[in-house]
Structure 1
Amino acid sequence: MRRLLLLALCATAVPAGGASPAGTLRVMSFNVRVPVAQDGRHAWPHRRDLLVDTIASQSPDVVGTQELTRAQGDYLLARLPGYSWFGIDRRGGHDDEHMAIFYRRDRLRLVELGNFWLSETPNVPGSISWGHPFPRMVTWGLFETIADGRRFYVYNTHFPYRAGDEPARTRAAAAIAARIAALPAAVPVVLTGDFNTEPGSPTYALLSGSLADARAQAGSVAGPEGTFHAFTGTPRRRIDWILARGLRAARFHTDDRHRDGLYPSDHFPVTADFVPESPAP
């Protein structure tokens, strides 16, 4: 059973911040961290406006989020009114974490959307396989650029987190790779996510076999290599990636902004500017 939901189409204002250059697709991946009181000074009410500012400063065309609750999504939408977001949570409703995708309505038109679960029963909401404790899923959208009608897919995900979950992450990566391989070859695909594993892992090797790592490909790279920092500002591992097929990353940025020791999340967001892939000579 496929469950589709498009949420919160409202307002028409253009987001704050500098837009991506003409002909460029700007994609962000951002694990926003669920709201938990144990985060103390980094709890959601203290960092939420900094998170809004972080997104607005980059003005991405698309944002793949992880760990997003519906309340967080609605808060962001109210303060970034040029965006819409869609997705259901990992249990098939709206009370748990979403892999929601935000997009700019002045730049993009949403053509189709959907979800599938990273399990032996991918069409069953909330399904779990391969020995990890929580449902894992993909939310995806097919977009069309308003300027020139070019289409592309965005897949967004969050992989299992435990050190011993690498076999499950590899199975999840294989499931995504198979889905992407079945898409029309002429339509570009971008994959965003918190993969909870680093380059050099079997999971990375599997995905990078058919998708290019934007950070490794980009001619211009800014910011720290690591992305997970646990609210310390010192990144430990590069587990947040943007991968693509049919597009070329020209610029990549890991945003480590903070304000008076406060960070928008325990992950740094990553942003890539994509241009059309150069034709083969």
Structure 2
Amino acid sequence: MQWKVMTFNLRTNVPSDGDNAWPMRPASVAQAILRHDADIVCVQEALHAMLLDLEPLLADYAWVGEGRRGGQDDEFCAIWYKRSKASVEAYGSFGLSETPERLGVLGWGADYPRMCTWARLRASAPVGGNDGVLTVFNTHLDHVSEPAQVNGMRLVTDRIEDKRAQSGASVVLTGDFNVGPAHAVVRGLEQAGYVNGYSALPGGAGAVGATFHDFRGGESGAPIDYIFVTPDVAVERIEVDRGRYEGRYPSDHYPVCAVLSAN
């Protein structure tokens, strides 16, 4: 069963961004998503109003999620999915803190509340013997506290393993991890058997270049945006899209899109 999965930090609505502020960018964000014909789009830093701005531009998509302080409050790690491709069987969110059932809590010295949203998707037309189920976890780790990064990801993987123990479902983990390929968060995932999507590239993650560019473009640096999968999912290809849409960069992060094949 093939899935096209994108992770995309949208850059939240900050008026001081001027010509790059959110009101100037919805069309370019939508064009990037449509260009890749993504089945699943995992976004970070999206405010509720930003998601509403995208809805009429992404007519074949729906989304699930909530704000990191609960309800519609603050940034979402929303999961968009193509309605012609799949339906949502279940979804939820949890905080990245010592009290994960309470959103909005600062965990392990984090600068902001952090969270993870997950969704279990079932394909409309499974192929062959595959049941067409894929569970998606989408997160945004803290940018300051290493304990928050490490413990937050440990909490995410614990939840992933719980889901896999219950159903055995294939899993994709996406997000802005705010760390480079040599960091303990990334190394820990790889050592635990998760497959780094960048391993599908010649040279692996070390050859990717930057995924955050601050609206300046270029590729000098290391990636901080990732797509990981469980071992029963193959990464056929992956691309960091450094293109412009509607004459501009759609965000201060490049979208990353992978083609996955679930066994």
- Verify the 8 A CA contact 2:32 2:245 in the aligned structure 1: no
Aligned counterpart, 1:170: 150
Of 250, 256, 264, which aligns to 2:250? 264
Q: 2:226: which partner in 1?
A: 241
- Within a 5 Å distance, the mapping from 1:145-224 to structure 2 comes to 145-148=123-126, 149-162=131-144, 165-184=145-164, 186-208=168-190, 209-217=192-200
SS of residue in 1 equivalent to 2:154: helix
Residue-by-residue CA offset, 1:30-55 (whole Å, 9 max, x unaligned): 00000111111111122221111111
SS in 2 for 1:25: strand
Task: Give % identity.
Answer: 35
Partner in structure 1 of residue 36 of structure 2: 58
Aligned to 1:274: 260
What letter is aligned with 1:42? N
Shift of 1:74: 1.1
Q: What is the Cα deviation at residue 133 of structure 1? A: 2.2
Amino acid at match of 1:232: R
Distance 1:114 1:197 in 2: 25
Structure 1 ranges of 4+ moved more than 6 A: none
For structure 1, list consecutive stretches of 5 or more residues without a partner in the other structure: 1-22
Tell me if the contact between 1:166 and 1:203 (Cα under 8 Å) persists in the aligned partners. no
Q: Are 2:109 and 2:147, in contact at CA under 8 Å, matched by a contact in 1?
A: no
Superposition RMSD on alpha carbons, in Å? 1.9
Q: Which amino acid aligns with 2:216?
A: T
Q: TM-score normalised to the size of structure 1?
A: 0.85
Determine helix, strand or coil for the equivalent of 1:181.
Answer: helix
More helix by share: 2
Q: Equivalents in 2 of 1:77, 1:146: separation in Å?
A: 21
SS of the aligned residue for 1:252 comes to strand
The answer for the alignment partner of 1:46 in structure 2 is 24
Which amino acid letter does the alignment assign opposite residue 212 of structure 1? V
Measured in 1, the distance between the counterparts of 2:133 and 2:248 equals: 38
Whether the 8 Å contact between 1:220 and 1:250 is mirrored in structure 2 is: no
Query: Which ranges in structure 2 are unaligned for 5 or more consecutive residues?
Result: none
